[in-house]
Chains A and B, each alone.
Chain A
């Protein structure tokens, strides 16, 4: 089973609305990262949150981490059509040597 599982699998909103994506994981982590993938492109790192952090902001992005629930959320505020992409969470385990990516949320922002 996947370490990171995103929810929902697909999300369609109107420009200007907020988009929230969730990620759940199973084992203890050192950090959790969010990446964006535009169609036909490579993944781009958005934000990294460490296990001792609860919230982090970067521009219109807000990430929260709840280690007791083993979950994280990515909030994109005031969405734009250019935010249309797949969003992946990736967990860096406490003991382990690799990131494990979730299956992604496909976000569509309609103009």
Chain B
């Protein structure tokens, strides 16, 4: 069974559209994250949730809105997509705090045309 799963794996869309990426973890972890990896492989944290509560919210445009219906799921909704949003988005989870070992999903490659 996959520990951290994301859907879809690839997402190609037009500028201005709204899209969502879903993430689920079956590890029983309390903390989940969204990261953005750019074309140079630089990985930057976007959001972190602990037991459905937002604990980290980096300076991300408010077009990005995370939603955690329960502690096993953390979805990312993006409004009014822009060219600069093209990247690979990774979901991750950890058992304890945000500096604990993190388990990553396979990533969602978003391409905005």
Residues of B within 8 A of A35 (CB): 104
- Asked whether any CB of chain A lies closer than 8 Å to the CB of B111, the reply is no
Q: Does A30 contact B (CB under 8 A)?
A: yes
Could you say which of B11-19, B39-47, B65-73 contacts chain A? B39-47
Tell me whether B59 is interfacial, beta carbon within 8 Å: no
A44:B101 contact, CB within 8 angstroms: no
Q: Is the CB of B90 within 8 A of A42?
A: yes
Q: A97-B55, A98-B48 are in contact. Are A92 and B99 (CB under 8 A)?
A: yes
Chain B CB within 8 A of A70 CB = no
Q: Is the CB of B98 within 8 A of A98?
A: yes
CB-contact partner of B41 in A30, A48, A86, under 8 A? A86
Instruction: Please encode chain A, from 40 to 52, with 1 for each CB lying within 8 Å of some chain B CB and 0 for all others.
Output: 1111110010000
Q: Which residues of A contact B79 (CB under 8 A)?
A: none
- Number of A interface residues, CB 8 Å? 23
Q: Does B21 lie at the interface of the complex (its beta carbon under 8 Å from any beta carbon of A)?
A: no
Residues of chain B lying within 8 A (CB to CB) of residue A104 = 41
Distance to closest chain B CB from A12 (angstroms): 17
Q: In the bound complex, do residue B101 and residue A43 qualify as a contact, i.e. CB atoms below 8 Å apart?
A: no
Report how many residues on chain B are interfacial, defined by Cβ distance under 8 Å. 23
Known contacts A41-B106, A42-B105, A42-B106: A31-B99 contact under CB 8 Å: yes
The B80-113 residues at the A interface (CB cut-off 8 A) are 90, 92, 97-107
User: Which residues of chain B are within 8 angstroms of A45 by Cβ–Cβ distance?
Assistant: 101-103
Check B42 against A103 for contact (C-beta < 8 Å).
yes
Cα distance A93–B100 in the bound complex, in angstroms:
11
How many angstroms from the CA of A30 to the CA of B106 in the assembled complex? 27
Q: Is the CB of A42 within 8 A of B98?
A: no
Is B27's beta carbon under 8 Å from chain A?
no
Q: Given that A44-B104, A48-B101, A92-B99 are contacting pairs, would A99 and B40 also be in contact in the complex, using a CB cutoff of 8 Å?
A: no
Query: Chain B residue with minimal CB distance to A97?
Result: B98
Residues in chain A within 8 A of chain B (CB atoms): 30-31, 33, 35, 37, 40-45, 48, 86, 88, 92-93, 96-99, 101, 103-104
